[in-house]
A and B are shown apart, each in its own frame.
Chain A
Amino acid sequence: MTVTHAPPGQLDVGLVGERWILIFGGVTRQGRRNAGRAASGALESGLDVVWFDGFDEATEGVLEREPLDGTQPAGNLVVVDFAEAQSRTTSSRLRSGGSLRSNPVARWIWKVLLRRIGSALRPRSCWLVVKRDLRALQGHSPPEAIVHGDDYAITSAWHSGRIWRSVQIRTGWSNGEA
């Protein structure tokens, strides 16, 4: 198995084989975990994985576990780390507040309004960051599945579903209210 990291917009389609799955991990820890599980399973089944990871922490050790029989997964993993690129978007700036947080009035406006707008725009902003790479993959063979890890990845999965209309879209592991 080879693991390749790429910034958004620089995905090398040549690293992706004929049989692959597309994973949008979203921007949350839960999304990262869900995506990691989906990636582990796909890699062990011999599929290549293209994983858009927007969670803002190092990507080391994201695969949930090592195979019990000690074998290496057969597929290749291409991780597009878009957290940094996403942090430069308007939605992210609204969410973080930046210098607004130093002034009490501005902080209040940020807290009740701007932060919420930033969060609301975030799924779409993730899509805008990753869509260039998706266009590059459009000429490739269709993925075997599209997986989204959290709510912030829904937009990217939905738009990808419009590119590959017959490909199954599924969620990663989800919190059940059972």
Chain B
Amino acid sequence: MKPHLLYIAFWYPPSRASGVYRALATTREFIAAGWDVTVITCTREFLEDEIGSTDESLLAEIPSSVRVARVPFTFGLAVDVRLLSWFSANFPTVARALHPRTASLRGTITAISGGAPVSHRFADNYVTWIEPVVEEGARIHSRHAFDHILATGNPYSSFEAARRLSEIAGTGFSVDYRDPWTIDVFTGNAEITDRATRAVERQIVASADTCFHVNEAIAGAYRRLYPEYAHKQQVVHNGYDAESIPPSPRSATPPYKFGILGTANDRWPLDAIFKAWKASMPGLPAGSELLLAGHLGYFARSQDVLEAYLPNDSSGFRYIGPVPKAEVADFYDSIDVLILPVPGGVMVTSGKVFEALALGKPIVCVQSKGGGARALLESHPLAIGAEPNPESVKSAIEEAARMARDLDPSLSAEIRFKNTRYERHIAMQPMVDAITTSSQIGDRP
């Protein structure tokens, strides 16, 4: 009989949140390793009505044998302001604060009447998802027992749901931190200082079999935060999907195409890049272009605001819109230089950096010195780190254009070969191995 994994992933297709790709890869790798996988995620209604954006093409990426259970969740405050009640509209901060607390009160009443114990008095916008997930998980477990529970965060309420379910099911659980919870990913300082939340995180870390992190900086921060559980902190890099990398890259010929791919957000140093691009244009071969591909913001409402922020076409800039996953390799093949905008510091690596590593093309990584993405690219012979200011980015763009012109195909091939170690299938393997070991699956008759 196959081992059974319950995977709690709030963001799962058709969500197009950045964490979805790691979640998809996780389910794929466990299926490939011979596990049965059940995913608990949020509903389509939440994604469509409250987030306002989905990517239907990602549904095809879910392995056919994965069972998906969708558990409802709502923020309680509708996106459309017109739909708010008089009270929510006039006292929005109170309404927002009350929503999880009234849920907590409902939980207390449930507990008094013999229901599940209340364990989620902590700061997270998704705490009201915990009880329904625990209920659904217990129902699934009664029909097909789990061998392990894995939760990915954010939201970190998923971790608490996993801990609670592990008590009910009597199985081990692990947590996958895509970002740190109580530590500020941008500064490394304490992000959440309230005692209840820190206590819940400590309890989760103490009870979990393994805590996975996307980079060494975050794992190190957690080792320092919980030294008694340092041995549980393990790094599982994001990696890249092999189908996103062009199989045989073409040679760069002028005019050059510089490309940015990803979901743009207000933390990206886009202003510095656009100003640098404008300043670099006269020195580049005529007809060179800067292409921006991807969604503008995560929420549907972000699109208009960011669109107004983009330069016009006459400046050699072109916004080409979202690129379906199946066409990412074509986009990479069409560009000569990749520009990688990354905010934050040492803990921020960005999933896209692994695709950048494997392309074998010049890369301009725009991130402050000491940033996680720049550290990963440090030994890459075609990567240029740039500070997020127009002067630094301009000189990096000019250097990258020279690199594209003089690029030796054998060097490109060597880089591509060397970085296959970050291929998602290989990168995710330590997670499968650790959970298989801790669940003692290998010892089964």
Query: Which residues in A have some Cβ–Cβ distance to B below 8 Å?
Result: 33-34, 37-38, 40-42, 44-45, 64-65, 68-69, 119-124, 127, 148, 151-152, 154-155, 157-159, 161, 169-174, 176-178
Contacts and interface: CB of A to CB of B under 8 A. Distances in A.
Given A155-B89, A178-B298, A69 B309 contact: no
B308 A154 contact: no
Interface in B258-277: 265-266, 271, 274-275
Contacts of A151: 92-93, 96
**Which residue, of B91, B304, B314, has the highest number of chain A Cβ atoms within 10 A?**
B304
B309 A170 contact: no
B84 A154 contact: yes
Interface stretch (B22-30, B75-83, B371-379, B417-425): B75-83
Given A158-B81, A159-B89, 15 more contacts: A41-B305, A44-B308, A68-B315, A120-B93, A124-B90, A148-B81, A152-B93, A171-B301, A173-B266, A176-B297, A176-B299, A177-B125, A177-B155, A178-B11, A178-B18
Nearest to B86: A158
Report, nearest first, the 3 A-B pairs whose CB atoms are least far apart: A41-B308, A158-B89, A178-B17
A75 to B, nearest CB: 12
A161 B308 contact: no
Contacts of B298: 176, 178
A62 to B, nearest CB: 14
A120 B94 contact: yes
B305 A172 contact: yes
B300 to A, nearest CB: 9
Contacts of B125: 177
Interface in B345-381: none
Contact of A170 (B91, B266, B304, B307): B304
A42 B307 CA distance: 11
A9 to B, nearest CB: 21
Nearest to B97: A120
A111 B108 CA distance: 27
B312 interface: yes
B82 A169 contact: yes
Nearest to A117: B94
**Which residue, of A120, A124, A158, A178, has the highest number of chain B Cβ atoms within 10 A?**
A178
Contacts, number: 102
Given A120-B93, A123-B90, A123-B91, A173 B297 contact: yes
B305 A34 contact: yes
Interface of B: 11, 17-19, 79-82, 84, 89-94, 96, 125-126, 154-155, 265-266, 271, 274-275, 278, 297-299, 301-302, 304-309, 311-312, 314-315
Contacts of A121: 91
9 contacts: A38-B308, A40-B308, A68-B312, A69-B314, A122-B93, A127-B90, A176-B17, A177-B125, A178-B17
A148 B89 CA distance: 12
A173 B309 CA distance: 11
B311 A68 contact: yes
A173 B93 contact: no
A44 B125 CA distance: 36
Given A157-B81, A173-B266, A178-B19, A68 B92 contact: no
B350 to A, nearest CB: 14
A158 B89 CA distance: 6
B44 to A, nearest CB: 16
A19 to B, nearest CB: 15
A32 to B, nearest CB: 13
**Which residue, of A41, A169, A177, has the highest number of chain B Cβ atoms within 10 A?**
A177
B278 A37 contact: no
**Which residue, of B82, B154, B278, B315, has the highest number of chain A Cβ atoms within 10 A?**
B82
Given A151-B96, A178-B298, A161 B82 contact: yes
B11 A174 contact: no
A69 B315 contact: yes
A68 B278 contact: yes
Given A154-B81, A154-B89, A157-B81, A177 B154 contact: yes
Contacts of B309: 37, 40-41, 64-65
A64 to B, nearest CB: 7
A163 B154 CA distance: 39
Given A68-B278, A173-B302, A176-B297, A123 B308 contact: no
Contacts of A172: 305
A158 B82 CA distance: 6
